Structure 1
Amino acid sequence: MGSPFKDHQSHAPSYSHSFMKKILPYFIYVILPIAVIRLYLYSPTLPQPSTTVHHLPHSTNPISITTSSSSSSQHEVEEKKPAAKETQCDYTNGKWVPDNMGPLYNGTTCGTIKEGQNCITHGRPDLGYLYWKWKPKQCPLPRFEPNTFLHLLRNKNIAFVGDSMARNQLESLLCMLATSSPPKLVYTDGEDNKFRRWFFATHNVNMSVYWSPFLVKGVEKSRSGPDHNQLYLDQIDERWAADMGQMDMVVLSIGHWFLHPAVYFEGGSALGCHFCPGLNHTEIGFYEVLRKAIKTTLKTITERRGTSENGINVIVTTFSPAHFEGEWDKAGACPKTKPYNEGEKKLEGMDAEMRQVEVEEVEAAKVNGKEVSGFRVEELDVTNLSLMRPDGHPGPYMNPFPFAHGVQERVQNDCVHWCLPGAIDTWNQILLEIMKKWNQGQSRRGM
C-alpha cells in the first residue's frame, strides 16, 4: 500500500520471513488505523478570514451613531463547515413537548422587558408555561446560542421594525443575548421609547427597534383627532426607512393594527376604508391592504438597498394569533395553562388569511429580487407554533398582582403579547437557524 510498507520491509532481517508474515496483518489492522485516526483528530486548524468593519455615518437616529470595533471574544464560536447537501427544515410543522431545561433567562435578571410582559415579577403563580420547547417533525431545533448569533452579526446593524410584536420579539432576543454579552442602551426617543438602540461592545453589534405599525406611512388615531387610522399604501414610513441605508438586517413584524378602523389612500386619493361608518368611503377588507403594505415595503427595500455594495437581509415575522376567550376585561380571558395538543387546534380563519398574505408576498419578493445580488428575504413563519400556545400570554398579569385583593369583576387582560421569558423565545431560535443557513450559503459562494 505504498511507502509505509516499503520502509518496514527494508529494515527487516532476511531470515525472518515467517515473522514478517505474522506481524504484517497486525500492522495493517491495528497500527495503521491508529495512525490515521491520530492524523484526523490532530490536523491543524485553518485560520479564519477577517471581518470588515462597517463604519456608520454620524446621525441622531436610533441606528446611526458611529461605534468603534472591539477585539474578538476569547470564547468566540467557530463557524461550522456547511454540509455537502443542505437539508431543508419546515419549522412550522411540529409540536410542543416538555422541556426540563427551561429558558435561558428570567424576568428578574433581564432589564429590558416591558413591564406588561414581565409575568414572573407581576406574580403569575403558574410557571409551567416556561418548560416547553418546540419540536419540528423534520429536524431538531437547537437551543439558542447567544455567541453564535452575535458572531454572525459582528460589526453589523440589525433593526426590528413594526408594531408591539416587533418590540416583544426584540426584547426576547435582547434578554437571550444578555446571558452572554450585556447590551448597553445608547439611544431612546419617542413616546414610550418607541425608538431605541442597544450596543453590544463585544461584537460591535447595533440592535434597534422602530415603531411603525403599518410599515408604510400612517397617521395613527388619537383622542384629539379622528377615531381611525390613515394609511398611505404606496409610501414607505420614513421614520424607519430613512435609516435603511445603515441596516444590514431588518426584521419586519405587523398585522394587528390592520384590524383597527382606518381610511386607506393610494395614488393621492382615498382607496376605501375599514369599519368607518359615517364616512363617505367604500368599505373594503384589510387583507389586501396588508398585502399592499408589505409589497410596498419589500419593493422599496429592494430598490434602495438591493443593489448597494453591502446589501440587506430581510426577515418577515408572520402573524401571531391572539387567544381571547370571552370578554377581554373579565377574569379568564386567556385561562389556558398548557399548550394545545397536536391536532387539537387548527389554523384557520383570520389567522390563516393574515399568514397566507405575508408568506405569499415574501415568496413573490424572492422571485422579483432573484437577480438583485444584495437582497435576501425569508419569512419567519411563527403563526402555527404560536397558535398552539394559548398559555403563553400575560393575561391579567399584564398588571402587577391583579388578584392581591381578591378576584375583581373587571380585570384587564393581554392575550396578544407574550410573557418573557416564554414561547416567543422560540421565534428567535428559528431566526438564528435562518441566519446560519444564510451564512452557509455565503461560505459556499466564497463570500
Structure 2
Amino acid sequence: MGSPFKDHHRHHPSLAKKLIPWTFYAMIPLVLFRVYFYPFALHHTTTPILSSSSFVSPPPSLLEEETSCDFTSGKWVPDKRGPLYNGSTCGTIKEGQNCIAHGRPDRGYLYWRWKPKQCKLPRFEPNTFLQLLRNKHLAFVGDSMARNQLESLLCMLSSVSAPNLVYRDGGENKFRRWHFGSHNFSISVYWSPFLVKGVEKSNTGPNHNQLYLDHVDERWAADMNGIDMVVLSIGHWFLHPAVYYEGEQVLGCHYCPGLNHTEIGFYDVLRKAIKTTLKALIDRKRANGNGIGAFVTTFSPAHFEGDWDKFGACPKTKPYREGEKTLEGMDAEMRQIEVEEVEAAKMNSIQLDRFRLEALDVTKLSLMRADGHPGPYMHPFPFANGVTERVQNDCVHWCLPGPIDTWNEILLEVIKKWEYESRREE
C-alpha cells in the first residue's frame, strides 16, 4: 500500500582621502583579533536554499550554545512561567488530551521544567524552530504517542504562526498534514503503530495484530523521498496480542491462546521492527542521495496505579523527586532496545552523506511525570454528577499542554546541534 497523501550621506572628497589610510591601519588589529579568536565566523558564508533537502542557515545568534548535552539525567524544577499555550489557543489537540477544557481542577502540573544536571535546556523558541525547518517537511510516524508529540509541537508553533490543515484522511485523523505559509514548512502525521507492515486487529477479523517484520510500512515509507526529517515513535502497541511473520513464515506470537504458534513475547519483535525501519531509511537514502534527519523517540512509561477503570488510577499531582522513581523492568528494556538499535544503525550509516540519526531519549524524564496524564479527564467533567468508583482513565498519553512539551524542547536542541555541525563541515 502506498502513501495515503495524494497529493545617504556624501563626504568631502579631501577629508575622505586623508581618512582612508588611517582607517585601514586601525582595522588591522581588529582583523587579527577576529581571525585569532573567531576563525570559523570569517570563512563561513550563508548558503542559499537550493532545494527542499538543503538546510537554510540561520543567524549565528540562534546557534550560540552548541556543546553536547545529556538531557536524560536531571530533575524537574518549579517554573512560574508555565507553558507557551493553553487548551484553547490551538485547535489541534485531541479531545482526550485537552485536560484543561475537560475540567481538570489542578494546574500545578503545568509549572515544571526539566533541568539537566550538566547543562541548560532552553525554553522552546517557535521562531527558531520554524527558521531551521524553513522549506522542509517534518513527519511524525508511529502510534498515538507520535500524534501526542506532534500536537504538542503544533500548539507551540501556533503561538507565533498559524498552521493551515491541508490534508486529512477523514474522521479518524490518522493521516494529516499542515503547512506554515510563513516559512513554507510542512508537518505531517502518519499512523503506523508498528512502523513495519501490519494488519491491526478488528471487531470483524482476528482478535490479534499481524506484523510482517521484514517489510517497512509503505503507508509512510512511500513518501520517504519527500520527507526531510522524521520522528519515529512506537512501543505500546507491541504489548497487544499479535502473530509475527518473517519471510512470509510465522515466526511466533505474543499472547495467542488457541493458536498453534510459539510464544516469543515482544522484545525481540520490537528490535526487529526498529531494525527493519532504520535499514529502510538508510537504504533508500543511499539509493537516491537525499539527506534526512531521523529521530527515534524512546518508550514513554505509563503510570497506572491499580485498575485502568478505577477511581484514582493515576492520582499524582506533582512529579517524582530525583531518585524517588527508578527506571526498571519493561520501561527500561523497551528504551534499551530502541537506543541500541539507533546506535547500531548510526554505525551502519557512517559513510552516508547528510544522514542524521538520534535517539530522542525521553523515557526517564517522562517516568518522573506521573502527574501529567489526563487520567479521568480524558472525558469532559467526569465527576459532574459525583465521584464514582469506576471511571475510565488515561495514564498513558499526556495532557496538552504538559510534560510532553519538553520532548520538543529537546528535539529543537538536537536540530540546532545538527545545524551547527553542518555549518562547521562546510
- Provide the TM-score with structure 2 as the length reference: 0.88
Per-residue deviation, 1:376: 1.4
Distance between the aligned counterparts of 2:248 and 2:171, measured in 1? Answer: 29
Q: Which amino acid aligns with 2:194?
A: F
Distance between the aligned counterparts of 1:306 and 1:137, measured in 2? Answer: 38
The aligned counterpart of 1:266 is: 246
Q: Is the 8 A contact 1:216 1:296 kept in 2?
A: yes
1:49 to 32, 47, 60: 47
Distance between the aligned counterparts of 1:355 and 1:310, measured in 2? Answer: 29
Asked if 1:289 is matched to 2:272, the reply is no
Q: Deviations over 1:326-348 (max 9, x none)?
A: 11001100000000000000000
The aligned counterpart of 1:80 is: 61
SS in 1 for 2:371: coil
Per-residue deviation, 1:86: 5.6
Q: What pairs with 1:7-406 in structure 2 (closer than 5 Å)?
A: 48-54=46-52, 78-80=59-61, 87-406=67-386
Distance between the aligned counterparts of 2:360 and 2:62, measured in 1? Answer: 24
SS in 1 for 2:238: helix
Distance between the aligned counterparts of 1:146 and 1:81, measured in 2? Answer: 12
The aligned counterpart of 2:401 is: 421
Identity %: 71
Q: Deviations over 1:101-135 (max 9, x none)?
A: 00000001111000000000000000000000000
Q: Is the 8 A contact 1:160 1:208 kept in 2?
A: yes
Q: Deviations over 1:34-93 (max 9, x none)?
A: x97xx99xxx999743222439xxxxxxxxxxxxxxxx9xxx96233867x963211000
The aligned counterpart of 2:4 is: none
1:191–1:286 Cα change, 3 Å: farther
Q: Is the 8 A contact 1:307 1:374 kept in 2?
A: no
SS in 2 for 1:377: strand
Aligned length: 390
Per-residue deviation, 1:401: 0.2
Q: Which amino acid aligns with 1:80?
A: S
Distance between the aligned counterparts of 1:445 and 1:374, measured in 2? Answer: 11
Q: Which amino acid aligns with 2:48?
A: S
Q: Which amino acid aligns with 1:337?
A: T
Structure 1 residues without counterparts, runs of 5 or longer: 1-6, 8-31, 56-71
1:86–1:47 Cα change, 3 Å: closer
Q: Is the 8 A contact 2:52 2:228 kept in 1?
A: no
Distance between the aligned counterparts of 2:365 and 2:341, measured in 1? Answer: 20
1:180–1:328 Cα change, 3 Å: same
Q: Is the 8 A contact 1:305 1:374 kept in 2?
A: no
Q: Is the 8 A contact 2:97 2:398 kept in 1?
A: yes
More deviation, 367-376/386-395: 367-376
Q: Deviations over 1:395-442 (max 9, x none)?
A: 000000000000122211000000000000000000000000000010
More deviation, 184-193/157-166: 184-193
Distance between the aligned counterparts of 2:381 and 2:147, measured in 1? Answer: 24
Distance between the aligned counterparts of 1:351 and 1:365, measured in 2? Answer: 22
Q: Which amino acid aligns with 1:227?
A: N
Compute the RMSD of aligned alpha carbons: 2.3
Q: Which amino acid aligns with 2:264?
A: I
Q: Which amino acid aligns with 2:361?
A: D
Q: Deviations over 1:362-406 (max 9, x none)?
A: 000000100111321100000000000000000000000000000
Q: Which amino acid aligns with 1:265?
A: Y
Q: Is the 8 A contact 2:210 2:243 kept in 1?
A: yes
Query: Considering only CA atoms, is the larger Rg found in Structure 1 or Structure 2?
Result: 1
Distance between the aligned counterparts of 2:249 and 2:159, measured in 1? Answer: 50
The aligned counterpart of 1:63 is: none
